[in-house]
Amino acid sequence: MHRLVPFSLALLAACLASLSGQTTPPPNPDIDYAGFLANAARLESLRESRRVSTTEFLRLAAEPGTIVLDARSAAAYRAVHVKGAINLSLPDFTAERLARLIPSKSTRILIYCNNNFRGAPDALASKLPVTSLNIYTFNSLVGYGYTNVFELGPLEDYRKTSLPLAGDNVGR
């Protein structure tokens, strides 16, 4: 009987903690939010220094060995993308997939996202500014060890941009 009381109290405490939402989730070594925040803070000034004008984006894109990477979904890429861009959706980033697509970590990579364009809400739907794909793409690429990443900086009018566009919805 004496053993039953501590066990019952422990069981009751666990049930009450569970009902009150005070349980501690199990650890997961493959998810590191603190590391994510530290990486974002560390990369803030680097990312800002690597945001380029449309003219500079075009100049860099024309140089041999430069890759223009579209990290949007495959459907968004098919609808409209910067001509010559290759597509690997951000959710599909892994060390292995990136290495197959971009073997050298020093390759110049240019990125852009929907939030670089206005005037095409179906093909290039804007995200909330704090959820812009450019932020995650830049941080992810640098996090995977890529050292030469640049981001299209300005907001372009889809119908007036000097960037060459391709895809099923271009001109619509």
Confidence of residue 3 (pLDDT cuts 50, 70, 90): low
pLDDT digits (tens, 9 = 90+) for 32-69: 999 999 999 999 999 999 999 999 999 999 999 999 99
pLDDT digits (tens, 9 = 90+) for 115-151: 999 988 777 888 889 889 999 999 999 999 999 999 9
The bridge status of strand 109-112 relative to strand 67-70 is: parallel
**pLDDT of residue 12 exceeding 70:** no
| Whole-number pLDDT of residue 123 | 78
Which sequence spans correspond to the domains of the chain? Answer: 37-166
Q: Counting Cβ atoms within 10 Å, is residue 101 exposed (0-12), middle (13-18) or buried (19+)?
A: middle
Residue that is written with structure tokens 């010559």 in the block: 84
The fold adopted by the segment(s) 37-166 is Oxidized Rhodanese; domain 1 (3.40.250)
Closest CA to 159 of 126, 121, 122, 119: 119
Confidence of residue 19 (pLDDT cuts 50, 70, 90): low
